Structure 1
Amino acid sequence: MRKYIILMSVIALVWGCKQKDKASEGIEQRTEVVTEDAWTHLFDGKSFDGWHTYLTDTISDQWKIKDGVMYYLPDPDQNQGMNNLITDKQYGDFELSLEWKISVDGNSGVFYGILEDEKYVVPYMTAPEIQIRDYTNIPEFNDKKQMSGAIFGITGPEKDLMHKAGEWNHFLIRIDHKNNKGSVSLNGKEIVSYPVNGEAWEALVNDSKFKGWENFGTQRKGHIGLQDHAHGVWFRNIKIRELE
């Protein structure tokens, strides 16, 4: 009997190890290894090369660079809301990684799929926006579609995972038209997943303030943008990986 028990224990141990190996193999197959070489930096930490203000070829002096950080400090004596920065290049399917921080009660965002056309005064008119917002003085705020990481006015997270105003946060934004999936990870956790085209996307738009907006969210390739919303906002380590 003792030999039988030992034999069965050995068999169980071997079987368990094989199952564990299979499970590990499955995880490895599902995990995509991305090296640093796969990323292209959109901000060199020293200049605005590769960027311009929407509909112009200049950069407002309210946008500044210091110590590898690109930031916007609004001047009350100058025009606001019209100084949105966008990339010179257009992107279709990609992952965008960047760090950001916002001022107390500040508001800003990251756009994708921007259609740069004089018909549209600001990127907001055609491009979905990944929201950046602080609610320090609005403790009762609970609009999920306006929380940091939300696709503004479209869909949002269950709760706000943003660090407090003045502290750095990280976005990983994935836009994959081929597989019709967009996602936003905030500080290492995926908080939003949604369709980016087709009937499912149109249904989300039609259930929002953007219903009927010409060309809103229709571009499968467009500029990426950083929003001027008349509040202080800071960005660094901006890089992109185009999906095949």
Structure 2
Amino acid sequence: MLHKLLSLALVAASLTAAPADPAYQVLVFSKTTGFRHDSIPAGIQAIRELGATNNFTVTATEDGGAFTGANLAGYKAVVFLNTTGDVLNDTQQAAFQTYVDSGGGYLGVHAAADTEYDWPYYEKLAGAWFKGHPAIQQATVRTENRAHPATAHLGPTWTRTDEWYNYRTNPRPSVRVLQNLDESSYTGGDMGDHPITWCHPQGQGRAFYTGLGHTIESYADPAFRNELLGGIRYAAGVAKADCRPETGYTTLYNGSTSGWSQAGPGSFANADATLTSQGGMGLLWYSAKELGSYSLKLDWKLTGDSNSGVFVGFPASSDPQSAIDNGYEVQIDATDTPDRTTGAIYGFKAADQAARDAALNPPGGWNTYELLVEGERLQVFLNGVKINDFTNTDPRRSLRQGYIGIQNHSASDQAAFRNIRIKELSGGGTVTVEGESYTSSSGVQVATHPPASGGKTLGYVDNGDWAGYTQVSTAGATRFSARISSGGAGGTIQVRSGSATGTLLGSVSVPSTGGWETFQNVTTTLTGSA
């Protein structure tokens, strides 16, 4: 009895930072040669107070002479606080560019975008230049990224009063947008898609900008002060975040669990667009769609020495053990053996420990995974840094198709997840069909098997039987994969184009799997002409 034909693969709001922060120094630069904001003193004082309680020392200056290589080397981050106009000469600009590109941090606040219009590098560093603004008014700020240390404390929306900048260009293609403005909530916005806070890598360094911070009142607002603190910690490199540009992703979870199913005991609480594990051992899996080649991103946080994981490449099942036995787990665990701690392919391959440790925020902080699945290759990125590269060679498993899920490990293990999103990859993606969804056939029947995807299979297959699928084109197909079970002697699957007697594209042996409820994957290349 054969399971289904699976796929044709195509080529084609606390203000206290984590206590582990080392002591460091921050330079606050507030020189102006254009409009001068009366909020600058309040901003300097707010940053000094943040430093006093978060282990960094602040030096404030309006002297461009501070921008020498030797002086900048003493600072982990430089804050451009409501600077305006041409504030650095050519030599100072060169020193600052070298500082950032060699690993330093930049943080721009509000009018920092109204600065250095004759220096192209600065536009790249800040992300965009100021164009204009309407009157100060209340607006709704939408939080796109709730894992970054600057915005993790915020809800999905935030209503506040400020001066809302329009920018000459939209920075989204080259930055990771953290917040955007809802232009329907105020008057005078002219960008449509309107980023207002963002971050991005710059050379070996880091850049962060927020358009908030015009008013004196802003610097007494705990939520804005916490945003400044997170931005400083990121720019200084003491808090990690994935600030690579991100486009083309589809949301799987951002508050709604539509399309998700719980397998096994326990559950996930769903509040504040955050899933929090409860009890176990179970699995919340995205049952709405089986996936082939893709980039999966999600934000996660542990409490203490908890245990969880993200599963990929497993068949549909109401039994969470099936994901363990047939898929792969990218582990989340603060302490364990190397092949069973954060970033490991659980039980198969440890993460690059040095890279992992350098990229990881400790328990209590949010982290971002990207799981990049291409064929049988699984790459793991933690906060934008590659920490594992694994290739499946087990014929009983396959990353070429399967489901994804997050684990609730036990009552004593608490993990939280946010903003689960996916980008399906073209050129190397898959076309997936259920075996029992054939449009023509001879001899076969639909059989009920609970462990199968949807609980049914293409079954009762004897020699010479066949099934046809008009919904699948074989043009350009180079690989065929199927998830099968056989309690008998096994046999051979042939893949033909057009009909049961059409051109033979390839064949694959089906072994005995030991029982009709025991499944494994078989794969072959397609070499015939379609």
TM-score range, shorter chain: 0.5 to 0.7
The higher-RCO structure (CA 8 Å, 6+ apart) is: 1
Counterpart among 298, 305, 309 of residue 109 in structure 1 = 309
Contact 1:184 1:191 in 2 (8 A): yes
Contact 2:263 2:318 in 1 (8 A): no
Give the direction of change, closer, same or farther, for the CA distance of 1:121–1:145 in structure 2 (3 Å limit): closer
Length, aligned pairs only: 176
Contact 2:339 2:347 in 1 (8 A): yes
Partner of 1:13: none
Look up the SS of the partner of 1:148 in the other structure. coil
Deviation at 1:119, TM superposition (A): 7.8
Deviation at 1:164, TM superposition (A): 1.3
Report Cα offsets for 1:190-221 as digits up to 9, x if no partner: 0111223xxxx23xxxxxxxxxxx93x23521
Look up the SS of the partner of 2:351 in the other structure. coil
Q: Which amino acid aligns with 2:384?
A: G
- Does the alignment pair 1:187 with 2:383? yes
Partner of 1:225: 405
Partner of 1:243: 425
Contact 1:112 1:222 in 2 (8 A): yes
RMSD of aligned Cα (Å): 2.4
Structure number with bigger Rg: 2
Partner of 1:69: 274
CA distance in 2 between counterparts of 1:69 and 1:221 reads 27
Partner of 1:43: 253
Q: Which amino acid aligns with 2:414?
A: G
Deviation at 1:73, TM superposition (A): 2.7
CA distance in 2 between counterparts of 1:186 and 1:242 reads 19
Deviation at 1:158, TM superposition (A): 2.7
CA distance in 1 between counterparts of 2:262 and 2:318 reads 13
Deviation at 1:44, TM superposition (A): 2.8
Q: Which amino acid aligns with 1:174?
A: L
CA distance in 2 between counterparts of 1:118 and 1:232 reads 22
CA distance in 2 between counterparts of 1:170 and 1:233 reads 13
CA distance in 2 between counterparts of 1:220 and 1:237 reads 24
Deviation at 1:125, TM superposition (A): 1.6
Contact 2:377 2:399 in 1 (8 A): no
CA distance in 1 between counterparts of 2:277 and 2:363 reads 15
Look up the SS of the partner of 2:408 in the other structure. coil
User: What is the identity percentage for the equivalent residue pairs of Structure 1 and Structure 2?
Assistant: 28
Alignment of 1:79-228 (within 5 A): 80-81=280-281, 83-88=282-287, 89-117=289-317, 121-135=321-335, 143-159=337-353, 160-161=356-357, 162-177=360-375, 180-196=376-392, 201-202=393-394, 215=396, 217-218=397-398, 220-228=400-408
Deviation at 1:144, TM superposition (A): 2.1
TM-score, structure 2 normalization: 0.31
Deviation at 1:35, TM superposition (A): 5.3
TM-score, structure 1 normalization: 0.65
CA distance in 1 between counterparts of 2:344 and 2:313 reads 16
